[in-house]
Amino acid sequence: MQPMTSRASFPGHSGASLAARLDMPNGRVRAFALFAHCFTCSKDLIAVRRIAADLARAGIAVLRFDFTGLGSSEGEFASTNFSSNVADLLAAADWLRENHAAPALLIGHSLGGAAMLAVAADIPEARAVVTIGAPADADHVLANFDADLATIERDGQADVTLAGRSFRIARQFVDDVRGVRLAERIKAMRKPLLILHSPRDETVSIDNATAIFIAARHPKSFVSLDGADHLLTREADAAFAASVIAGWASRYLEADAPQGQSAIEHVRVTETGEGKFQNAVQAGPHRLFADEPVSAGGLDTGPSPYDFLSIALGACTSMTLRMYADFKKIPLGRISVDVSHAKVHAKDCADCTDEERRSAKRIDRFERVISVEGDLPADLADKIEEIAGKCPVHRTLEGSSKVKTVVKGR
C-alpha cells in the first residue's frame, strides 16, 4: 500500500532534479492537484503541508515540489526566473500525467499563484484553478528587492536578503518578470477560478485579488482570508483555506465515494508522514485524523486512540437510548453523553469486582455522564441507566474481545 506522503523527483526545465512530495488520500483518489509554492519558499512550508494534508483527507492527491534551486531541488536559483518556474510546473504536470493522472486542480500560493495563472491554459486536463495571496502581475515580486534593484540593473546581479536568507538575483530575472502580461493569460485560460486573499496581506495587497478577479472570465469566485497573514502561518487559516478549496473544487471534480461497495465493514488507518503520530482514518466515505496531543509529541490534529474509544461509547449510548425512547414512544429530550477515560488501580476502583480488586494491575475505567434536555421524570433515570448498559459498545468494552492479527507479506 502506498504511504500517505511519498517522496518523488523529476527533471525540471533545465534537467536538474526537482524534489517533490505526493500526498495521497487513504483510499480512492478523486483527482490529482498540483501545488506551486511562494517565491523563495519550499514545498515544506507549514501552510503548504497543512493544505495538502487536508485536501488528501478529502480524496484529492496533491503533488508539491521545490522549484529549481530551492529547497531540496537541484540547480542554481540565480539562473531561474518566472518563465523557468512555469516550465517547472509543466514538467511537474507531465510527471503526474505519466505516473498517475494529469492534474485536475491547480493551486498556487503568492508568486506560485501567478505562475499557475500563467500556465493553466497549457494544462488541458486542469478543470479548476486556485490562487492564494497571488499578485496580479509577476513583477510585483520586485518590490521585495528595495534598493538592491538598482544594483541588479547596474551590475547585472546582486545578493538580495529575503525572509532572512540571501539569494542571488540576476538582471535576466528582472527583465523576465517585467515582460509577463499576466492579465492576458488569465483571460485566456478559460477555467473556473477561486481567489483566496487576506485583506490584511502586507506582502501582496488585496488590490491584486481585485485585479485578478476583473481579468478572469466566469465562473470565478473570491473568498476572504480575513485575519490571515501572507504565509498563512496560523493553523486555523491554512485549515480554512483547505476546506474552502475542497468544497469549491467539488463542483468540478468527481464526487467522493465510499471506500468499498461490499457488505464487509472495515476501517483503514494509515500514517501520513506528518508529525510523529498523525494517521489518516477512513471509515467508508468518512475521512478524519487520529493523533496525539502536542504534550505527548503529536500535532493534535485529531482525536487520540482512547478518544476514539470514548467517542464510540458515547455515540453508541446516545443512539441506543434514542432507539429505546422512539420504540417506547417516550418524549425524551436531546441526549448528551460525556465520557472520560482513565487507568486506575483495580484496588481503588469502587465499581470493580472482588477478583479485579485482588489484582495488582491497572484497569481502564470509562465514566459516562448522560444528560437529557428538559424535565426528566425520576422514575425514568434508572431506566436510562439500565438501557445505557445495553449499548453494544458498552458490552464490548466490558466483555472479552478477541483480536486477530494478520501481517501481510509474512
pLDDT in tens, 55-66: 988 889 999 999
Could you write out the DSSP letters of every residue in 266-302?
-EEEEE-SSTTT-EEEEETTEEEEE---GGGTS---S
31 strand-pairing partners: 60
Give the pLDDT of residue 351. 59
Between 58-62, 115-119, 142-146, the lowest mean confidence (pLDDT) is in: 142-146
Give the pLDDT of residue 242. 92
* Average pLDDT for the chain: 86
Is 262 a residue whose pLDDT tops 60? no
Mapping DSSP to helix (H, G, I), strand (E, B) and coil, where does residue 45 land? coil
Give the pLDDT of residue 282. 78
pLDDT in tens, 58-107: 889 999 999 988 888 988 877 888 899 999 999 999 999 999 999 999 99
Among residues 339, 340, 389, 13, which one has the least CA distance to residue 176?
Answer: 13
Q: How far apart are CA 381 and CA 321, in angstroms?
A: 12
Between 235-239, 297-301, 344-348, the lowest mean confidence (pLDDT) is in: 344-348
Give the pLDDT of residue 286. 75
Is 259 a residue whose pLDDT tops 50? no
Report the half-sphere exposure of 7 (CA within 13 A, side-chain side): 5
Work out the number of other CB atoms within 10 angstroms of the CB of residue 171.
15
% of the chain beyond a pLDDT of 90: 50
Mean pLDDT of 198-213: 94
Residue 147 to residues 153, 158, 160, 205, 320, Cα–Cα distance (Å)? 11, 10, 9, 20, 70
Mean pLDDT of 273-286: 80
Q: How far apart are CA 374 and CA 372, in angstroms?
A: 6
Between 50-64, 194-208, 277-291, 339-353, the lowest mean confidence (pLDDT) is in: 339-353
Give the pLDDT of residue 71. 86
Is 27 a residue whose pLDDT tops 80? no
